[in-house]
């Protein structure tokens, strides 16, 4: 395995600090100090902190969908099983000890200005979730698949948000699978 470059170290440290502490709360000085590199190492790889933020969000997006793709592949050909597995993954994630919330929701709360470049990555993540939920809702023959997808999306987002306000394992996110199942059933009953 090749040795990490200074830019790789910067990215790794920034990603960890952005998630664990907050994006706005972590400055460039802290990142380079924790990475044990000179500030120029950050700027060789990223033109600005905003570029580093965008790279962090894009990396989180890619990693998230990689995990989801693996989960869905375990239930190939079974859209109902895929939907259950996706919802179970979100519930497990949102109720894990030490979970700091959805990095995309966290970013959006810290950067409400929609012109900030990171919003493209956030929108890409959230639109992909809605698209996938709509595809699965259609595949299970829901009466109103787009309505079911949006309702499931709201449950998912609520689970992520409540993990920060009402606590992990004992918070309301733990009932996400049952709430989703009830919602799905209501859209399948003829």
The 10s digit of each residue's pLDDT in 49-73 is 999 999 999 999 999 999 999 999 9
CA distance 177 to 180: 5
Comparing 2-16, 73-87, 120-134, the range with the smallest average pLDDT is 2-16
CB 120 within 8 A of CB 106: no
CA distance 30 to 18: 11
Average predicted confidence (pLDDT) for the chain? 94
pLDDT at 97: 87
Region 14-33 average pLDDT: 96
The 10s digit of each residue's pLDDT in 2-13 is 788 989 999 999
Task: Name the DSSP letter for residue 187.
Answer: H
Nearest to 96 by CA among 165, 170, 24, 23: 170
pLDDT at 103 over 80: yes
Complete domains list, the chain, with CATH = 1-46 (1.10.10.60), 57-188 (1.10.357.10)
Q: What are phi and psi of 100, to 5 degrees?
A: -105, 15
CB 144 within 8 A of CB 90: no
Nearest to 183 by CA among 135, 126, 128, 133: 133
């Amino acid at each position: 395995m090749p040795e990490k470059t200074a830019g790789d170290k910067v990215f790794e440290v920034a990603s960890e600090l952005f998630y664990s502490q907050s994006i706005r709360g972590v400055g460039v000085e802290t990142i380079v100090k924790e990475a044990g590199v000179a500030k120029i190492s950050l700027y060789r790889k990223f033109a600005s902190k905003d570029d580093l933020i965008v790279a962090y969000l894009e990396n989180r997006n890619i990693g998230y969908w990689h995990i989801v793709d693996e989960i869905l592949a375990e239930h190939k050909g079974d859209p109902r099983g895929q939907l259950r597995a996706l919802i179970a993954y979100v519930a497990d994630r949102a109720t894990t000890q030490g979970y700091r919330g959805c990095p995309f929701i966290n970013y959006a709360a810290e950067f409400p200005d929609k012109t900030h470049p990171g919003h493209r990555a956030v929108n890409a993540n959230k639109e992909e979730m809605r698209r996938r939920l709509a595809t699965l809702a259609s595949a299970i023959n829901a009466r109103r698949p787009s309505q079911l997808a949006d309702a499931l999306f709201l449950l998912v987002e609520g689970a992520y948000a409540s993990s920060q306000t009402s606590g992990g394992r004992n918070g309301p996110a733990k009932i996400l699978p049952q709430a989703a199942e009830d919602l799905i059933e209501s859209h399948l009953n003829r």
